Amino acid sequence: MIYLIAFLVGGAICVLAQLAYDYTKYTPAHVLVGLTVIGAALEGFGLYKPLLNVAGGGALVPVTGFGASITRGVVQEASRLGWEGLFTGVFEIVGLGLATAIILGVLLSILAKPKD
């Protein structure tokens, strides 16, 4: 049952993003940033954690989960270090994933042959 709930919640997030892209003049970048900000705001108000408890990976995998993870790291570090945590906490939770994506992106761009 948890797989069905994760699929439905993740699918609903993606459908809302696609509808925003199709029926507005927003570019994909606008939709991406909008979803990230929505996830960060929901985490800031304490509403994303209950969604994660219900939907699991269905709420964590879309880009809203990225925004929530950034905010979670900032809040944790700010409570631990004070105002300095506002700057250091950004990469506390998502830093490893970002570093991996950048390194693999560079390696694959070197190894891949571009199409003519």
Give me the tens of pLDDT residue by residue for the chain, a chain 116 residues long: 889 999 999 999 999 999 999 999 999 999 999 999 999 999 989 998 898 888 888 888 888 888 888 888 888 888 888 888 777 777 778 888 889 999 999 999 888 877 76
pLDDT for the residue 103: 95
The whole-model pTM stands at: 0.77
What pLDDT score was predicted for residue 74?
85
Residue 72's contacts (CB-CB under 8 Å, 6 or more residues apart) are: 43, 93
Angle at 52 between CA 48 and CA 56, to 5 degrees: 155
